[in-house]
Amino acid sequence: MSDPSARTLPLHIAIIMDGNGRWAARRGLPRTMGHRKGVEAVRETVRAAGELGIRYLTLYAFSSENWSRPEPEVNDLMGLLKVFIRRDLAELHRQNVRVRIIGDRWNLRSDVLPLLLEAEETTRNNTAITVCIAFNYGSRDEIARAMQSLAVDVAEGRLSPEQITPPLIASRLDTAGMPDPDLVIRTSGEERLSNFLLWQSAYSEFVFMPEYWPDFDRAMLMRAIDIYRQRDRRFGNVAPASAAASSATPPPASLAVGS
């Protein structure tokens, strides 16, 4: 592939990790085995993204719609997240990874929420890469919660309706302070967003890959980045991609190497 240290490296990659169940079914295994192998792919992807210089990685781990799955599968996914945080938090901290959680955290089970809060708190000053886990996340729910907080401010006289601008809305989303994803990857051949980062992906590039998530690895991440780097991003403008990209999402100094 072309040099991944060039300025067109995506600052923020978001991934819809799809196909765990089908990966398992192909092998005659229970779906839970697909999720288990999926966690290994998460580990490898976090490591590879950090090494490649990606600054933000958002992973869609559990959607607000996933509650409708059979209870044993929901319990298994909760258990896997708990094990991931318990076992990997020290290593993530050592790798200077900041963990962030997006989604409706206040409705989470009492055995899950404290772990998520601990992961955020322990790693809050880390700077190498932010790994954002979308858990109990649904984009429409996130936008509705942001709208509710704005409506309260209007009703209580702190805000007037004309002050509600796109940047103000963005500042009330769970992703406040994070750049929008440059690249959204979905595995398993499905080509839809499934209620993931609807607001934030307005100008994202999409790469759909046929492989199932448990097979995702460093080489696939590099392939997706390579496809992304061949895209011409105009952000609604007619200017050359490099000018448009640099004015819309200037890369941090660490990514400007080789530009």
State yes or no: 192 annotated in a binding site: yes
Decide if 237 is catalytic.
no
According to the annotation, is 65 in a ligand binding site? Answer: yes
Distance in Å, CB of 248 to ligand FPP, minimum = 29
Among 15, 116, 133, 245, binds ligand FPP (CB under 6 A): 133
Report the length, in residues, of the chain. Answer: 259
Site for ligand FPP in 31-60 (CB under 6 A): 35, 38-39, 42, 59
189 among the known binding-site residues? no
Site for ligand FPP in 202-231 (CB under 6 A): 213
Yes or no: say if 99 and 119 are a contact pair by the CB < 8 Å rule.
yes
We find the least distance from the C-beta atom of residue 213 to ligand FPP, in angstroms, to be 6
With binding defined as CB under 6 A, does residue 132 bind ligand FPP? Answer: no
Nearer to ligand FPP, 65 or 232 (CB): 65
**Catalytic residue flag (residue 18):** yes
Based on CB atoms, which residue is closest to ligand FPP, 142 or 146? 142
Check residue 108 for interaction with ligand FPP (CB under 6 A).
no
Using CA atoms, how far residue 185 sits from 99, 104, 168, 208, in Å, is: 20, 23, 27, 6
Q: Closest approach of Cβ 51 to ligand FPP, in Å?
A: 18
Residue 213 marked ligand-binding:
no
Minimum distance from CB of 44 to ligand FPP (Å)? 12
CA distance 65 to 60: 12
Q: CA–CA separation, 246 vs 37, rounded Å?
A: 38
12 binds ligand FPP (CB under 6 A): no
**Binding of ligand FPP at residue 130 (CB under 6 A)?**
no
Q: What is the DSSP string of the chain?
A: ---TTSTTS-SEEEEE---HHHHHHHTT--HHHHHHHHHHHHHHHHHHHHHHT--EEEEEEEETTGGGS-HHHHHHHHHHHHHHHHHHHHHHHHTTEEEEEES-GGGS-TTTHHHHHHHHHHTTT--SEEEEEEEEE-HHHHHHHHHHHHHHHHHTTS--GGG--HHHHHHHSTTTTSPPPSEEEE-TT----TTSSTTTTTT-EEEE-SS-GGG--HHHHHHHHHHHHTS---TT--S-HHHHHHHHSPPPGGG-TT-
In the complex, minimum distance from the CB of residue 76 to ligand FPP, in angstroms, rounded to a whole number: 9
103 in contact with ligand FPP (CB under 6 A) = no
Q: Which residues are annotated as a binding site for Mg(2+)?
A: 18, 205
Binding residues for substrate: 19-23, 31, 35, 63-65, 67, 69, 186, 192-194
Sites of contact with ligand FPP (CB under 6 A): 17-22, 35, 38-39, 42, 59, 61, 66, 77, 80-81, 84, 133, 188, 213
Annotated binding residues, as ranges?
Answer: 18-23, 31, 35, 63-65, 67, 69, 186, 192-194, 205
Which residues participate in catalysis according to the annotation?
18, 66
